[in-house]
Amino acid sequence: MVLIEVVNPCKPDTLFCHYCTNPVNERQIVMAMSRQKIIIDTDPGVDDALAIHMAFADPRLDVVGLTTVFGNVHTHQATRNARHLVEMAGLAVPVAHGAERPYQQAQRDPAHFIHGAEGFGDLPAPNPQLPVDPRSAAQFICDMADEHGEDLLLCPIGPLTNLAHALDLDADLPNKIGGVVLMGGAVTVPGNVNAFAEANIHNDPHAAEMVFAAGWDVRVIGLDVTQQILCTSQHLEEIALGAPGIGGFLRDVSAFYVRFYQDSRAFDGCCLHDPAALIAITDPDWFSYDSAPVTVIVEGEEAGGTQIVDDPDRPKVRFAVACDTQKIRDHFITTLKNTDLRFSER
C-alpha cells in the first residue's frame, strides 16, 4: 500500500493518497507505515474473544492468522469460535486448526466452568461459514515465518502445543521470526490452577518447556502482571454502549466469565489476561521485565510451574514483572468502544 505521498499545500496537516488525492485518515496512515504482523494462537474462550477483537480493532496490528488449540474449550470449538470472531469483524483472516491434545501428557478437561459450554459464556454455539485453512496450525506458523520473517511475531494466548509442533517442523523457526509474546506462566507469583501453575502452561507443560528453551526472543506476560489488570462489569457496559455490535457481543459473552469472578473472588469484573499480551506488543513501554532463564516443571504436583533457573547454557526469556494497569485498561476500553467504527471502515 502506498499512501501519504502528497501533502496539501493549502492545508499542510492533511495528507492525501498518492494515486487518487482523496484525504487519508489516521488509520490509513498507520496502515501505510508499519503494522506489526502477528499470529494469535488461541483457545477462544472469553478473554481470547476480548483480545482478538481488540487486536482486529487496533490499526497498528496486522493479524495474518489465527491458529487454534484446546484449553478453554476443545480444539474443534476453538476453531469454530475463532472463525466466528473473524467473520463478525468483517475480515478474511485465515484460521488454521491446531493440536487437539497436549504434546505429551494426558488431556485435561476444558475450562467450561469459566468460559461456558461452547466457549462464549451463555451464548449458544455459533455457526460460521468462513472456511478453515487447509494447513495445520503448526504448518501455517512455519509458512508465515517463511513469508514474513522477522516482521512476524507469534502471540500465543493458550497452551503452547502448536508452537512446539512448529519447532518440530522447522528447527530454524526461532531464527526466522521476530519473537514470541505469550500469555502464560506465573514466574514470581502463585499459579491460578494451583499454587504452582498458570492454566495455559499447566495444560501443556512439555510444549511450554520446548518454547522457553528454543532460544527465540520470548516475552512472558504472566499472572505476575495480568491478574493486576482488571476490567469491571461497568467497563464492559461502556464498551457495549460505544460499540453495540461487537462490543455488545463481548459484553454478553463476558457475563458468564464475570460470574466466575463474582463467585470465586467476589469481584464484579474480570482480569484482562489475554488482552494484556496483545497490548504488550502494541505498547511495550507500559510493561517492565526481568530477564532470566525460565524452566517449566513437566511432572509431579508442581507440573506447569515456571521457575527461574541458574543455568548459563539456557537462553534467557523476558518476563513481565510490572505494568501500567491504568493505561492498559484504558487502552482496552477505548479500542473496543471504537470497534464498530473500525468495522464500518472496512
**Which spans of this chain sit near Ca ion (rule: CB under 5 A)?**
43, 45, 48, 157-158, 274
For residue 14, the number of C-alpha atoms closer than 13 Å in the C-beta half-sphere is: 8
Give 198 or 238: the residue with its C-beta nearer to Ca ion.
198
CA distance 77 to 114: 15
Is residue 276 within 8 Å of 226, Cβ to Cβ?
A: yes
Shortest Å distance, C-beta 270 to Ca ion: 13
Query: Which active-site residues does the annotation give?
Result: 43, 273
Shortest Å distance, C-beta 239 to Ca ion: 19
Shortest Å distance, C-beta 48 to Ca ion: 4
Neighbouring-strand partners of residue 218: 180
Shortest Å distance, C-beta 307 to Ca ion: 22
Give 142 or 157: the residue with its C-beta nearer to Ca ion.
157
CA distance 21 to 82: 37
Give 157 or 236: the residue with its C-beta nearer to Ca ion.
157
Which residues lie closer than 8 Å to 2 by C-beta, 6 or more apart? 18, 19, 32
Give 59 or 159: the residue with its C-beta nearer to Ca ion.
159
Strands 179-183 and 61-68: unpaired
Q: How far is CA 80 from the centre of its chain?
A: 17
Q: Peptide bond preceding 45: is omega within 30 degrees of 0, i.e. cis?
A: yes
